[in-house]
A and B are shown apart, each in its own frame.
Chain A
Amino acid sequence: DIQLTQSPSSLSASVGDRVTITCRAGQSISIYLNWYQQKPGKAPKLLISGTSTLQSGVPSRFSGSGSGTEFTLTISSLQPEDFATYYCQQSYTFATFGGGTKVEIK
């Protein structure tokens, strides 16, 4: 199984802050890395696929980068609606998710 380790597991930030979340894979997964946003009581929502392709309707303040074993999700200017939990997911072999990063209001 390919393990994904997200860091940090939680963070506190203010509106307008730049936020970066890291996802590390236990082996190389090329660019087969997706990011999801989940709000309490709701299903996850796909934000970014293939490391850096923004899904339709997702604000441009979200961006993704990386390859191989290290990936990042960046929110350039945090907005009130961005407070949520973020998960990375690899699709190189079957599917596994990272443990999640909860973004809370500071």
Chain B
Amino acid sequence: EVHLVESGGGLVQPGGSLTLSCAASGFTLSWYWMSWVRQAPGKGLEWVADIKQNGSEKYYVDSVKGRFTISGDSAKNSLFLQMNSLRAEDTAVYYCVRRSLGKWAVARFDYWGQGTLVTVSS
């Protein structure tokens, strides 16, 4: 059974850094594209970053480019999100998500972790 468990969230001051981790089980993480998706309190969903199998390609939403770095560790079957220069608007629940291809090769987010809350505040 597929499980994704995030950790590392918490309270951080503006301008600070935080690293989120996601432990995967039930599948081999390096065989899939993986993503981070966030949700600000009371708001909708926002895609944050993608990493291709084996980390050969990485993509980010414009608002986090240059500040966030997505990475994976195949030995630990884990995904990470290094977040620097954090801003109040980065406050959100961050979800670790598996991306897979369905019928007609349409990419979809098929498994989600429970999320970890990041609060950026002084």
Residues of A bordering B, CB below 8 Å: 1, 31-32, 34, 36, 38, 42-46, 49-51, 53, 55, 87, 89, 91, 94-100
Contacts and interface: CB of A to CB of B under 8 A. Distances in A.
A32 B109 CA distance: 12
Contact of A43 (B106, B108, B114): B114
A79 B63 CA distance: 38
B95 A43 contact: yes
Interface string B91-122: 00001000000111011111011110000000
Interface in B13-70: 35, 37, 44-47, 50, 59, 61-62
Nearest to B95: A43
Contacts of B112: 43-45
Interface of B: 35, 37, 44-47, 50, 59, 61-62, 95, 102-104, 106-110, 112-115
B47 A97 contact: yes
18 contacts: A1-B62, A36-B45, A42-B114, A43-B114, A44-B109, A46-B109, A49-B110, A53-B103, A89-B45, A89-B109, A91-B107, A95-B35, A95-B37, A95-B47, A95-B107, A95-B109, A96-B47, A100-B45
Nearest to B112: A43
Nearest to A42: B114
A86 to B, nearest CB: 11
A2 to B, nearest CB: 11
B109 A36 contact: yes
